[in-house]
């Protein structure tokens, strides 16, 4: 199934309006809400009004069909599960087209973060490998920079799991908790965090306590140290 998604606004509009960006963007994801989120994050329209989106598909067959007639470089963002296949199977098919000379770059997003799955994904050699749990505009920015620079990028959380330098369970922090954690790392108090994020002091304190609990540490100082150690924040 192909999804119409022309009305979304991207937080990376300025990035995709740069002259160095020459890829069409194709999202392949079996989960419709996530597909729309991915499409939003990688930008459907540049600031100048140029549409970078080639399509949003929920099946591998539709994805490959859209790629068939493309002569312009294409960035394909692939989720772990599709309606008719797996992301790894689609990636394998795309790599065959790359070997035949088609200009395609790939970003593979994963939900299951255990070492076996990650090793299997790494063997398929996507250009970028990132986690859906930590899916944020800044992560996508790193991914797009790697695409522009013709280099590879692996989400630091995934890299630590692959190298054995991280707990087997990645803390499942919400996007708001990540925002709060970044400000904790910057040394802000709960009151300052509340003002910065336009939330009540008590709400900021609750977020901090939730972060401490999820990171299995004793206090906010330890949570900041753990966040930096595991690259939860930049």
Find the CATH number of the domain harbouring 36. Answer: 3.40.50.2300
Structural domain harbouring 118: 13-163
Same domain, 190 and 108: no
Residue 75 domain-assigned?
A: yes
In the predicted model, is pLDDT for residue 80 greater than 80?
Answer: yes
- 119 — pLDDT class (breaks 50, 70, 90): confident
Helices (H), ranges, 1-148: 13-16, 32-42, 60-68, 87-99, 115-123, 137-148
- 229 — pLDDT class (breaks 50, 70, 90): confident
3-class DSSP assignment, residue 45: strand
In the predicted model, is pLDDT for residue 171 greater than 80?
Answer: no
Same domain, 148 and 189: no
- 61 — pLDDT class (breaks 50, 70, 90): very high
Same domain, 47 and 146: yes
In the predicted model, is pLDDT for residue 50 greater than 50?
Answer: no
Residue 6 domain-assigned?
A: no
Give me the number of domains the chain comprises. Answer: 2
Residue 168 domain-assigned?
A: no
Residue of 121, 89, 99, 95 whose CA lies nearest to 108: 121
pLDDT value at residue 11: 41
- 38 — pLDDT class (breaks 50, 70, 90): low
In the predicted model, is pLDDT for residue 69 greater than 60?
Answer: yes
Same domain, 97 and 123: yes
pLDDT value at residue 169: 54
In the predicted model, is pLDDT for residue 20 greater than 90?
Answer: no
pLDDT value at residue 10: 45
Same domain, 66 and 92: yes
Residue 36 domain-assigned?
A: yes
**CATH code at position 217:** 1.10.10.10
The H or E element that residue 48 is part of is: none
Same domain, 152 and 180: no
Same domain, 53 and 79: yes
Find out whether 43 and 25 touch, Cβ atoms under 8 Å. yes
In the predicted model, is pLDDT for residue 154 greater than 60?
Answer: yes
Residue 5 domain-assigned?
A: no
Residue 4 domain-assigned?
A: no
Residue 148 φ/ψ, nearest 5 degrees: -60, -40
Same domain, 37 and 150: yes
């Amino acid at each position: 199934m192909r999804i119409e998604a022309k009305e979304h606004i991207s937080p990376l509009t300025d990035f995709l309006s740069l002259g160095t960006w020459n890829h069409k963007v194709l999202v392949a994801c079996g989960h419709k809400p996530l597909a729309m989120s991915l499409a939003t994050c990688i930008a459907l329209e540049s600031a100048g009004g140029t549409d970078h989106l080639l399509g949003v598909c929920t099946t591998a067959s539709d994805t490959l069909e859209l790629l068939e007639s493309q002569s312009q470089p294409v960035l394909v963002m692939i989720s772990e599960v599709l309606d008719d296949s797996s992301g790894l199977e689609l990636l394998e098919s795309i790599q065959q087209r790359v070997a035949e000379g088609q200009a395609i770059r790939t970003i593979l997003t994963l939900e299951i973060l255990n070492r076996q799955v990650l090793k299997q994904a790494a063997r398929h050699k996507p250009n970028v490998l990132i986690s859906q749990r930590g899916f944020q505009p800044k992560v996508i920015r790193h991914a797009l920079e790697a695409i522009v620079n013709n280099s590879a990028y692996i989400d630091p959380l995934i890299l630590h799991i692959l190298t054995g330098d991280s707990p087997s369970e990645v803390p499942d922090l919400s996007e708001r908790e990540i925002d709060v954690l970044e400000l904790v790392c910057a040394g802000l108090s709960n009151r300052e965090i509340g003002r910065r994020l336009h939330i009540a002091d008590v709400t900021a304190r609750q977020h901090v306590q939730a972060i401490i609990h999820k990171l299995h540490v004793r206090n906010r100082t330890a949570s900041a140290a753990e966040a930096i150690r595991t690259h939860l924040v930049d």
